[in-house]
Amino acid sequence: MKKHNFSAGPSILSEYTIRNSAAAVTDFEGTGLSILEVSHRGKEFVAVCDEARTKVKELLEVPSGYEVIFLGGGASLQFCMVPFNLLNKKASYLDTGTWASNAIKEARLFGEVEVVASSKDANYTFIPKGYKVAEDADYFHFTSNNTIYGTEMRYDPDVNVRLVSDMSSDIFTRPVDVSKYDVIYAGAQKNLAPAGVTLVVVREEALGRIARAIPTMLDYRTHIKKESMFNTPPVFPIFAALQTLKWYQTLGGLSAIEKMNLEKAAILYDEIDRNKLFRGTVAVQDRSIMNVCFVMADEYKELEAGFAAFAAAAGMVGIKGHRSVGGFRASLYNAMPQSSVEALVATMKAFEKQH
Domain ranges of the chain: 15-251, 253-354
For position 119, what pLDDT does the model report? 98
Helix extents (H) in the chain = 15-26, 43-60, 74-86, 98-107, 220-225, 235-251, 254-274, 304-313, 338-354
Q: For this structure, is 158 an active site residue? A: no
How far is C-alpha 38 from the chain's CA centre? 28
Summarize pLDDT for 88-109 with one digit per residue, the tens: 999 999 999 999 999 999 999 9
Summarize pLDDT for 228-274 with one digit per residue, the tens: 999 999 999 999 999 999 999 999 999 999 999 999 999 999 999 99
Average pLDDT, rounded, for the chain: 97
For position 305, what pLDDT does the model report? 96
Is pTM beyond 0.75? Reply is yes
Q: With CA atoms as reference, report the closest residue to 331 among 348, 317, 345.
A: 317
One of 99, 156, 182, 286 is an active-site residue; which one? 99
CATH topology of domain 15-251: Aspartate Aminotransferase; domain 2 (3.40.640)
Q: For this structure, is 190 an active site residue? A: yes
Q: How far apart are CA 90 and CA 111, in angstroms?
A: 6
DSSP code of residue 287: B
- Select 253-354's CATH number: 1.10.10.60, 3.30.56.10, 3.90.1150.10, 3.40.50.300: 3.90.1150.10
CB 147 within 8 A of CB 291: yes
Residues of the chain with pLDDT under 50: none
One of 166, 182, 219, 286 is an active-site residue; which one? 166
CB 86 within 8 A of CB 164: yes
One of 95, 170, 182, 190 is an active-site residue; which one? 190
How far is C-alpha 318 from the chain's CA centre? 17
For position 84, what pLDDT does the model report? 98
DSSP code of residue 62: P
Q: Which long-range contacts (CB under 8 A, 24 or more apart) does 301-308 make?
A: 303/277, 303/351, 303/355, 306/351, 307/277, 307/348, 307/351
For position 323, what pLDDT does the model report? 84
